[in-house]
Amino acid sequence: MLAGMHAVSVITAARRPDSALLAEAWCSLRAQEADWEWCIQLDGAESRVPDEIAADPRVRVGAAPSSPLGPAAARNLAVLNSQSRLLHTLDCDDVLLPGALAGVIRAMRANREAAYAFGRSVDLLPDGSIRRFVMPFQPGLIEPGKLAAAFEERRREGAGFRGSFPVHCAGVTWSRPHLLAHGGYAAMLRSEDISVLLAIAESHAGVYVDQETFLYRRHPAQMTHGPDDAPAAVQGEAMVLARLAAIRELAGGPGAAAA
């Protein structure tokens, strides 16, 4: 581990975070049976972290810039502020489930070749109900290229872009060296996490942890539900597909001729 030597750094971009939801995220962290630090990067001058959270010695808050950075740049600054070799994504309005961090840390330590890890997300819907998902993988190591293959198979079956991606990137655990070596989160307004995960997963193994790791809160105030999201989503999808095609072209792998 790096200087500071926590088992995992939890990475959060916070643009005008709801203080009550951020407090729920903090409570879910405090309930984890793992050694963690929480790296929160404020995004924009109007963003604040409640004093009680900021006073936690395990919480590192990046100062807010005068203008919003966007989720990719904010997350990258949080990564820069981190002190662990393992990074775990947590959105400021989501909640970790019990044992989540211990599960992914254990999986990454048992599979030293893995560059990333993930469990299953659980959607928390506005009416309080939950929606669960079935993963297209067996628990354990995922070989290079398998993540993109599952993504492409779902697209051929007619699922939309985000509905086709088999991993919810709002709860991925990363090897810090691998994430940084691939440029961090992609410089995009949307799908910045899908882009870098696909890039890493084409040449490095990952690991699927057979447990539910976080509640993904779906609500009208989400950034991805805003009025300006549609153009950014289309551009993000195009960039993800272009990047994957370019990686394969350079490697001479599947889809290279089509690129």
Assigned token pair, 242: 């272009």
**Cβ neighbours of 89 (radius 10 Å):** 22
Mean pLDDT by 10 residues, the chain (259 residues): 75 95 97 98 92 97 91 96 97 97 98 97 92 92 96 82 84 98 94 96 98 89 63 89 94 57
CATH H-level superfamily of 8-251? Spore Coat Polysaccharide Biosynthesis Protein SpsA; Chain A (3.90.550.10)
Distance from chain centroid for Cα 9 = 12
Q: What secondary structure does DSSP assign to 136-177, as a single string?
A: SS-SEEE-TTHHHHHHHHHHHTT--HHHH-SS-GGG-EEEHH
Query: Hunting for tokens 């211990």 — which residue is that?
Result: 102
State residue 224 phi and psi, 5-degree precision.
Answer: -75, 0
DSSP-based three-state secondary structure for 7: coil
Task: Fill in the amino acid letter for 240.
Answer: V
Distances (CA, A) of 140 to 47, 114, 117, 121: 39, 10, 9, 17
Angle at 132 between CA 129 and CA 134, to 5 degrees: 170
Residue 256 half-sphere exposure, CB side, CA atoms within 13 Å?
8
What pLDDT does 204 receive?
A: 98
DSSP-based three-state secondary structure for 133: coil
Q: CA-CA distance, 14 to 184, in Å (whole number)?
A: 17
Distances (CA, A) of 115 to 89, 107, 175: 14, 11, 5
Q: Which residues contact 217 (CB under 8 A, 6 or more apart)?
A: 21, 91, 93, 94, 95, 124
- Each domain of the chain, given as residue ranges in start order, spans 8-251
pTM of the model as a whole? 0.91
Assigned token pair, 26: 């903090």
What pLDDT does 226 receive?
A: 58
Q: CA-CA distance, 11 to 83, in Å (whole number)?
A: 11
Q: CA-CA distance, 242 to 187, in Å (whole number)?
A: 14
**Cβ neighbours of 15 (radius 10 Å):** 18
Query: Hunting for tokens 């949080």 — which residue is that?
Result: 78
**Cβ neighbours of 250 (radius 10 Å):** 10
Q: CA-CA distance, 43 to 14, in Å (whole number)?
A: 6
Q: CA-CA distance, 27 to 97, in Å (whole number)?
A: 11
